[in-house]
Chain A
Amino acid sequence: MKNMGDMLLRKPGFQEIVMGNTALVRAMVESGTRVITSYPGSPTPEIAAAIQTIPEDERPFYFEFSTNEKVATEVAFGAALNGHLSTVFFKSVGINVAADTFVQLSLLNIIGGMVVVLGDDPGANSSQNEQDNRHFAYLSYTPMLEPASPTEVYRYYKEAAALSQKLGKVIILRLTTHVCHAKEKVTFAEWIPRKEDYTPKFNSKNGPYIPLASAVYPMKKRALRQLGEVETWIEQRRLNTLVENNSTLGIITSGLTYLSLLEILEEAPEKPDILKLAMVYPVPERTIIKFLKSHDEVKIVEELDDELERSIKAIAYDQHLTTRITGKSDIDDWIGEYTPDKVRQILKKTWPGLVADGKRLDPPSDDIPLRPPQMCPGCGHRSAFHAIGEVLAKEDITVADIGCHTLGYHKPYNMGEIMVCMGSSAGIGSGLSLFNSSRKVVAFLGDSTFFHAGLPGIVNALFNKHNLTLILMENGTTAMTGHQDHPASGRNFNEISEAIPIRQVLEGFGVKSIFETDTYDQEKLRTLVKEAINEKQFNVVIAKHPCMLLFAKKQRKVKGENPFHVKIDQKSCDKIHTCIEKFGCPSFTRNSDGMISVNNELCIGDGSCIQTCPRKAITR
């Protein structure tokens, strides 16, 4: 078997099939990156999974999952102030959490160099929105590189690291979901480990590092001046790509959209010229002017928002250029991932005859039942939602947070009717409880999210005496993103670390009433929640059960296939369907005669369903 850890540390150059996230780790090794931090979030967790294949004592860098993206950014920044090349990576919306720290970085002289790797998610494949984080580059004067493929992830990271070290400036590498997860054969260079110097080099004379009052203007001036240097560097490094087809038509694009364009234009009889920008901020003015001047008509094809379009139109206006420039045609052009099919539609709006129709013209068949993601067999959250749903009145309001428990929104539970972002449930629930004595408010929160961003909302509920019940869905891990440890797990990424006990944290805050039970004890959970929602104060129900997906995986490793399943006594079953329609475990199968059977491929034999059958037809 090929060993990924060995591959990532191989000294001679080599070729290997890797995904973008793995290519990034090799680039960090070759660049001499010394401190890497993160908070898990799709599409980036496989970066950490690749790091984990290198035994800790062989890693040429330090890595940690921090408690949230803001802290991760601060740790990476602090390390870089001591002269260590550092990198923080997280998902798209992670930058909202990190923003308070992040927006300052471009003002500061980061002597070690620092790269922020963003995993943006056009198409909202696994995020609550598809926000275009190029705005953050504009907002903070931070140069942003945008690779299109695993090969470019590798190459651009090394360029970003070198540029960051040269300028003492933070650089963003913006990946998108299908760049992170694309796989191809990448040619890697040799790795020559550098002579390590760990001397802490922080010196306030490298600053200023205190952006207060009059100090801010010169710091901002430096940040803006550096943008010009960056443009020159991009030109010198020849990172932009020009595809010349001798056309009077031109397209300006970047990132994965470029590959979609090449795909769709492959069969076109006449192809426009294409300028692919490696850096989407700052836009390379000289390169763009040259391209505009040499074409009659230029279309900007950019995924999500219209940053390039606005910048390029402004350049054309200032230069008095008469080139016809088109960008977004309508609202649809702002929405969704720019797959080859989407790019085809977009091109057709501007140049109807340029490309052929797609192979699919009719809408997808509606005869195929949808398959929404759901909680796993044995999931403790299912027991919790089933029990809690029986206690709450129809008009009561439930607020979800981010995590596996968000899936409780689906049928048949419909629990958690509002979901915004990490750690928001206690605050939103507090607001919902104002001027409200008739409808109980229940907020849900996961345990990793509790530490990530949940604490301030809880403190506020206590401080301002809000009346709601918070249900802490404790499963001992960061489940949704692939089971990363968190502060209450008793382990960090590298070693054993004392678990921070959630209950004692709550007691320390002064939560007067804390209830606690394993969610498999549904009767007890019902009793506790009933009691909690009838109290007139902020209280917490800790509803815990270890993540059974993780448990079942570990079991399989030790014992092979799981031999335990529940079964249905067909004689006792009288088809009231509580198991399949209310408890809703995916292990139950509805047969054509209305009888229920158990799918042993899915059932892990946890038995949490047994108590839900009024006829006692489910047995071990």
Chain B
Amino acid sequence: MKPFNIYLCGVGGQGTGLLSEILLRGADHAGLQAKAVDTHGLAQRGGVVVSHLRIGKKIYSPMIPAREADLVVALERHEALRGADTALRDGGCLVYFNTVLQPLGVRLGSDREVSENFLNRNCKVRNIKVYIVENGGLMEPKMQNIAVLANIDKNNLIPLVKTRHLIQAMEDLMTGPMLEKNMAIFKNSPLTV
């Protein structure tokens, strides 16, 4: 299989790390070789959090070269645009959770918030296919990452990684009520395009 690069991004506290770990272990359960690297430390204080995940045989560095990601997974709209701009190849896929955590400049009134339209226009120019995951109002914020996971799965966005592999991965990482809650979201999330 050709190497498949996934770039995940979000805001500190959104659970980007857990999502990345589930996908990494999911790839492993699918019998694929994979490497990953996450942001830790200071950036987690409400800053940008990034994970690189690389699947395939001929990969060496855990870090994806600029604009060589096949899939960008974002948990916030500004980060979706930033992730697509820095990491995603032209013609790649972007799946993002449609929520806004305003960056400092937007709150201070010096920067303009990234709108859905602006993001979509940017993606269209570069022939990027966009999947938008909406909240629906029911979800606990900490579980938005799993709603995104469900949509990655239902739209088959990662070659060879199937539902059962992701379930196995979730069972590796969670237990008890946390697993039950997340599994319910994973299995019942509506498909959104």
Chain A residues proximal to chain B, CB less than 8 Å: 1-2, 17, 19, 42-43, 45-46, 125-126, 149, 178, 181-185, 256, 259-260, 262-264, 266, 339-341, 344, 358-360, 364-365, 367-376, 404, 407, 410-412, 480-481, 556, 561, 577, 580-581, 584, 586, 588-590, 592, 599, 601-602
Contact = CB atoms under 8 A, between A and B. Distances in A.
Contacts of A340: 61, 63, 65
B174 A259 contact: no
B190 interface: no
B65 A369 contact: no
Contacts of A19: 38
A264 B66 CA distance: 12
B80 to A, nearest CB: 10
Interface in B87-145: 89, 99-109, 111-114, 118, 122, 140-142
A412 B118 CA distance: 27
Contacts of B58: 266
B41 to A, nearest CB: 3
Contact of A43 (B41, B61, B111): B41
Contacts of B112: 369
B107 A181 contact: no
Given A360-B66, A364-B86, A369-B112, 16 more contacts: A1-B179, A17-B28, A43-B40, A183-B36, A359-B68, A360-B86, A365-B81, A367-B114, A371-B46, A371-B104, A480-B41, A556-B142, A586-B46, A589-B107, A592-B113, A601-B141
B104 A339 contact: no
Given A1-B173, A183-B62, A263-B59, A599 B101 contact: yes
A580 B46 CA distance: 16
Contacts of A410: 104
Contacts of A584: 104, 107-108
A182 B107 CA distance: 34
Contact of B107 (A126, A404, A588): A588
* Among B21, B25, B102, B103: residue with most chain A CB under 10 A: B102
B1 interface: no
Contact of A376 (B40, B45, B106, B140): B45
B159 interface: no
A581 B106 CA distance: 10
Interface string B48-66: 1000000000111111011
26 contacts: A17-B24, A17-B25, A17-B34, A43-B41, A125-B41, A125-B43, A178-B63, A181-B39, A185-B28, A260-B63, A358-B67, A359-B89, A364-B86, A367-B118, A368-B81, A368-B114, A369-B105, A371-B47, A371-B78, A561-B141, A581-B107, A581-B108, A586-B101, A586-B107, A589-B100, A592-B113
A374 B46 contact: yes
Contact of B42 (A149, A185, A480): A480
A19 B21 CA distance: 11
Contacts of A589: 100, 102, 107
A364 B65 contact: no
A369 B62 contact: no
B48 A371 contact: yes
Contact of B66 (A1, A256, A359, A407): A359
Contacts of B67: 358-360
B35 interface: yes
B90 to A, nearest CB: 8
A177 to B, nearest CB: 8
A149 B81 CA distance: 30
B105 A370 contact: yes
Interface residues of B, number: 65
Contact of A46 (B35, B40, B48, B81): B40
Given A178-B62, A184-B62, A371-B48, A580 B108 contact: yes
Given A43-B40, A125-B43, A368-B78, A260 B102 contact: no
B41 A256 contact: no
Contacts of A364: 85-86
Interface of B: 11-12, 21, 24-25, 28, 33-48, 58-63, 65-68, 78-79, 81-82, 85-86, 89, 99-109, 111-114, 118, 122, 140-142, 171-175, 179
Contact of A581 (B62, B109, B171): B109
Contact of B47 (A42, A262, A374): A374
Contacts of A262: 60-61
Contacts of A365: 81, 85, 122
A260 B41 contact: no
Contacts of B62: 149, 178, 182-184, 259
A564 to B, nearest CB: 14
Contact of B35 (A182, A360, A590, A592): A182
B152 to A, nearest CB: 19
Given A182-B62, A411-B108, A42 B42 contact: yes
Contacts of A556: 142
A263 B46 contact: no
Contact of A368 (B44, B85, B107): B85
Nearest to A373: B47
A187 to B, nearest CB: 13
Contacts of B59: 263
A407 B40 contact: no
B173 to A, nearest CB: 6
A1 B108 contact: no
A373 B46 contact: yes
Contacts of A404: 45
Given A260-B61, A602-B101, A371 B11 contact: yes
A55 B3 CA distance: 39
A375 B111 CA distance: 20
B37 A412 contact: no
Contact of A373 (B43, B60, B61, B111): B43
A378 B89 CA distance: 39
Given A178-B62, A341-B65, A358-B65, A590 B40 contact: no
A407 B44 CA distance: 12
A369 B109 contact: no
A259 B108 contact: no
B45 A373 contact: yes
A367 B117 CA distance: 14
Contacts of A369: 78, 103-106, 111-114
A602 B34 CA distance: 33
Contacts of B43: 125-126, 373
Contact of A341 (B42, B66, B78, B172): B66
A580 B106 CA distance: 10
